[in-house]
Amino acid sequence: MEEHRLKPRSSYAGSCIILTTQHAKSIAVAPSFWNKLGASVLEYVVDTDQLGTFSGEIKRKGNALECVRRKCEWPLDRFGDKIEFALANEGSFGPHPRIPFLPCDQEIMYFIDRRHSFHLYLSHLSEKTNYQMDTVDSLEALHKFAKIAKFPSHALILRPNNRESTELIFKGVNSQPALEEAFLQSRKHALDGSVWIETDMRAQFNPSRMAVIGELAEKLAERLALHCPECGIPGWGKVRVETGLTCSGCGSKTQLIKHEIYGCTKCPYEETHQPAHGLEQAEPEHCQYCNP
């Protein structure tokens, strides 16, 4: 990134950014916002479970983006003009979009800036997750799952294996005695004698997830530290890519990235940049004609 884009002083120096969270996410977010922007992060602690829980007792209303935006707007609606900057995060877990069976953590971070009147969100996909679930019917199977799930540094959720039941559920289980007790209680109430077990994905119970949120916070803070060369508004950065890098063998277009387009959060100004891979042409191995 060219130096002139970095103003000597960030637009957010000395500001307070309100982070809606129930799960202590400022641990992951605050360092980047302080180091890159000189801004403090203050938690607005609310029961975000009403927007949905990972363990399924409350289904998420709308998609992850709608959900994170609602979380972000919460303190703005509540406290009105007293708040200028708000931030929220939402995670989703499941198979990698291109690599089946590889579990992934997809995080979105949403930022609202009322002073410069723009919204900006970034997402981040990471395979650094312990996300998994299973049914277990013996202590041996229980401990095997626990080991793979990085227990006890990462907490677990247990319940009788009739998934629809939400009456008996043990969340945030993070000690051996609590694990065995939750297993025995759940098994006693299960119709088939087995126990549903899953990783607890709430950030303060899951250091792997906290680290991924930290990586995304770093990306967002870096983005907010850059200003549009045209209008000076913060949040300048990569907004999309264009594929079609030509093949060095036959000259046809490949799926490799040809350009990265940088844009502003507010005005229509854009710039075309060289892609991060730095290639002028694609190797024929990436070409559907040379290497079908």
Per CB under 5 A, residues contacting Zn ion are 228, 230-231, 247, 249-250, 264, 267, 269, 284, 287, 289-290
Closest approach of Cβ 116 to Zn ion, in Å? 10
CB of 65 to Zn ion, least distance (A): 23
Nearer to Zn ion, 84 or 283 (CB): 283
Rounded to whole angstroms, the Cα distance separating 61 from 89 reads: 15
Which residue, 112 or 142, has its beta carbon nearer to Zn ion? Answer: 112
- Kindly tell me which of 197 and 282 has the beta carbon lying closer to Zn ion: 282
31 preceded by a cis bond (ω within 30 of 0): no
Distances in Å between the alpha carbon of 14 and those of 10, 11, 37, 82, 218? 9, 9, 9, 15, 18
* CA dist 123 → 93, 236, 272 (Å): 13, 16, 21
CB 241 within 8 A of CB 275: yes
Shortest spacing between CB 214 and Zn ion, in angstroms: 28
User: Minimum CB separation from Zn ion for residue 282, in Å?
Assistant: 8
247/256 Cα distance (integer angstroms)? 9
Residue 136 or 233 with smaller CB distance to Zn ion? 233
Torsion angles phi and psi, residue 133, rounded to 5 = -150, 160
Q: CA-CA distance, 145 to 291, in Å (whole number)?
A: 42
Nearer to Zn ion, 173 or 228 (CB): 228
- Beta strand pairing status for 16-20 and 85-95? parallel
Phi-psi region of 88 (alpha: psi -120 to 50; beta: other; left: phi over 0): beta
Q: Least distance to Zn ion from the beta carbon of 257, Å?
A: 16
232-237-242 Cα angle (round to 5):
135
* CB closer to Zn ion, 103 vs 232: 232
**Residue 288: CB minimum distance to Zn ion, A:** 8
